[in-house]
């Protein structure tokens, strides 16, 4: 079983990439929110790299929605990259897909120049 890890990397121009590994669930969601809340406050763009995330439940979805709201509040942008169909099942089934900005990979998420959260 792979433990949950969060690795944050500077992508320049006030942008950061927060990469996750393992399982995002009710036990790990608070840790992610603690990381994202500060990063969103300090950066214009925060991209969540989910390419190595293997599980996400509605606790994870709640964190994504908090992150989107926080980014809107501070005039920044938050986006999700490289999330697998299996992993985003909770987002899809909750009907929140259209509310979570998603990109096929980190490069596309960083390159997106659309307004905050839209």
Partner 1 sequence: MPQNTVPQTPPDPDRVPKAVPVVLSVPADKTYVVLIRSTASHLGARLGFTVAEISDLRLAVDEACGLLLIPEGFELTGDELECRFTEADGELRFVVSALANQGAAPDTGGFGWSVLAALVDGLVWSYDHGRMHVELVKRHVSKEN
Binding site for partner 1 (CB under 8 A): 1, 23, 25-27, 55, 57-59, 61-62, 86, 89-90, 93-96
The candidate with the shortest Cα–Cα distance to 26, out of 72, 62, 66, 70, is 62
Q: Are strands 77-81 and 15-24 parallel, antiparallel or unpaired?
A: unpaired
Find the shortest distance in angstroms from Cβ 109 to partner 1.
Answer: 23
Find the shortest distance in angstroms from Cβ 40 to partner 1.
Answer: 21
Find the shortest distance in angstroms from Cβ 93 to partner 1.
Answer: 4
> Nearer Cβ to partner 1, position 8 or 51?
51
Find the shortest distance in angstroms from Cβ 90 to partner 1.
Answer: 5
- Report the SS3 class of residue 30: helix
Distance of CA 79 to CAs 12, 68, 117, Å? 16, 8, 8
Total Cβ atoms within 10 A of residue 27: 10
> Nearer Cβ to partner 1, position 52 or 62?
62
> Nearer Cβ to partner 1, position 14 or 97?
97
């Amino acid at each position: 079983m792979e433990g949950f890890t969060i690795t944050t990397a500077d992508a320049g121009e006030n942008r950061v990439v927060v990469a996750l590994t393992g399982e995002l669930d009710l036990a790990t969601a608070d840790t992610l929110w603690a990381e994202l809340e500060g990063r969103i406050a300090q950066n214009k763009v925060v991209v969540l790299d989910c390419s190595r995330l293997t599980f996400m439940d509605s606790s994870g979805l709640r964190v994504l929605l908090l992150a989107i709201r926080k980014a809107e509040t501070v005039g920044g942008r938050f986006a999700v990259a490289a999330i697998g169909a299996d992993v985003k099942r909770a987002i899809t089934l909750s009907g929140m897909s259209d509310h979570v900005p998603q990109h096929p990979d980190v490069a596309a998420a960083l390159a997106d120049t659309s307004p905050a959260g839209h």
